[in-house]
Amino acid sequence: MKTYPRYFLFTVLFLGLLFFSSCEKPQQKRPNIVFLLADDLGYNELGAYGQKVIKTPHLDKLAKQSMKFTDFYAGNSVCSPSRAVLLTGRSSAYVPIRGNAGYFGGDDWAPTWLEKNEFTLGELFKSAGYQSAFVGKWHLDDPDDVSTWAYGHGFDYAAQEQWTHRKAKRKFPVGGLWVNGDQELFPYDFREHECKDDFYTDFALKFLDNKETDKPFFLFMSYRAPHSFEGPIRDTLWYAQEDWPKAEQAQAAKVTLQDKQVGRLLNHLESIGELDNTIVMYTSDNGAHFGAGGKGHQLEFFDSNGPLKGGKRDLYEGGVRVPLLTYWKDKIKPGAVTDHISAFQDLMPTFAEIIGVEIPEQTDGISFLPLLLGQEQEKHEYLNWEFQLSGWFQTLPDGGFRQSARIGYWKGVRYGIDSKIELYDLNNDESETNDLADQHPEMVARISKIFENSRNESSAFPYGGVKQNHKSMERYP
């Protein structure tokens, strides 16, 4: 029998291991994520959700390639508290910001912000080795403390709009974008851009063209339209010739111009070879805005919220139910539609699972990654919201305090701590017109417990709100 030297056998074994390891499939690259957030877009303002007049061809095309959510909810019914839920993964009754302005005694209403030690999506992606970018409206910062800006919350590149003037240091204009903190300002000139979203998209494309090629990326694109204070737009497209009020021409144009910028961004992702490995999500921070007293954009003109009751600042469905489109090539079935009930707090755990990091303990959301992949999905026992109107623009005889909760198809709403809870069956009454509270006291009692117990205290947003009239102001005990 022929024998071989020991070193020869070791050499054969080593070469064999090299051969088999080289035959293994290469590890799949983690997906990029592009998150697109509209500002005050109504549930029914996209063609894919039923809009008949306003043109949104790029988003409608995206919808055909995506999973469309019919029962997805924003974090709250106005900008700042809704974005706080999105960034922290904590629902509106647990996040510290519960209105666009908090109450600090006397006549003092002021914006609040995410503290510098608050863990956000920026830090989440940074911990996973992603390169991240934020472009647009942040609305969660202290103007005098850059550590509370997007750049101070884990985003490698941040081109952020600043809404208020600084109290200290140098004064600066509200318009434009500050890049990577407060060192460089790029002013917005509507004569050079169709709209602010056109201007913002320039910065997103700059990030994509200069990103590191060996890392996946997270791009948070925070658009400015169709918010009522979007500012002048250069072109009203087809709508200038329509016999509509100027406010409605502008509303339609802002939605269509944003749609154009979404198309521009998606086309760029495709041109640089990144779209096939990129998850794209598009949603809105709350329901459609509308003008009081018949002034400004009116919900009924374009049927902006469809059958849903109310709009921005409401905790009825029209204020918090928003579109969500989710695209992921070869993972999500094109044209899929889901009525899974989910909300902004679910995005942090969903992203964590996608990028392969532990879900942060702070979130009370539930990952819907299984749903996207066609697997069995865990459901919420309930969702609840807590909101405080500010005393900036209106008196608050009932404290300006609002609550709502959804348990399956049941929806409870209370405006004012001393008011009765309204109860609606969303399966048969999506417009919340038939109050069934007297017929189902057990469900009302259950919702009442959620209102009282599924929350924590927030110093600037006291439970029950702040009574305010022209002569005096007092906090509820």
State how far the Cα of 213 lies from the Cα of 203, in Å rounded to an integer.
18
- What confidence category does residue 271 fall into, taking pLDDT thresholds of 50, 70 and 90? very high
Confidence check: pLDDT of 8 > 60: no
Query: Which range is least confidently modeled, 201-205, 306-310, 389-393, 466-470?
Result: 466-470
CA torsion sign, 196 to 197 to 202 to 203? positive
Three-state secondary-structure class, residue 445: helix
Average pLDDT on 156-171 reads 72
Model pLDDT for residues 19-45, shown as the tens digit of each residue: 444 444 445 689 999 999 999 999 999
pLDDT at 232: 67
Looking at the chain, the whole-number percentage of residues with pLDDT higher than 70 is 88
Model pLDDT for residues 208-225, shown as the tens digit of each residue: 999 999 999 999 999 999
pLDDT at 173: 54
* Residue given tokens 């706080």 in the structure block: 84
pLDDT at 183: 83
State how far the Cα of 364 lies from the Cα of 72, in Å rounded to an integer.
16
pLDDT at 24: 44
Q: What is the CA radius of gyration of the chain?
A: 24
Confidence check: pLDDT of 9 > 70: no
The CATH classification number of 383-475 equals 3.30.1120.10
Written in H, E and C, the secondary structure of 81-150 is HHHHHHHHCCCCCCCCCCCCCEECCCCCEECCCCCCCCCCHHHHHHHCCCEEEEEEECCCCCCCCHHHCH
pLDDT at 14: 47
pLDDT at 15: 46
The CATH classification number of 32-372 equals 3.40.720.10
- 7 or 53: which carries more pLDDT confidence? 53
- 107 or 76: which carries more pLDDT confidence? 76
Which DSSP category does 396 fall into?
A: B
pLDDT at 467: 80
Confidence check: pLDDT of 304 > 70: yes
Confidence check: pLDDT of 421 > 50: yes
Confidence check: pLDDT of 284 > 80: yes
Model pLDDT for residues 221-243, shown as the tens digit of each residue: 999 999 987 666 766 667 989 99
- Average pLDDT taken over every residue of the chain: 90
Closest CA to 135 of 219, 59, 78: 219
Domain spans of the chain, in order of start? 32-372, 383-475
Q: How many helices (H) and strands (E) does the chain have?
A: 10, 19
Model pLDDT for residues 399-419, shown as the tens digit of each residue: 999 999 999 999 999 999 999
Neighbours of 296 (CB within 10 A): 16
Model pLDDT for residues 361-391, shown as the tens digit of each residue: 999 999 999 999 999 999 999 999 999 999 8
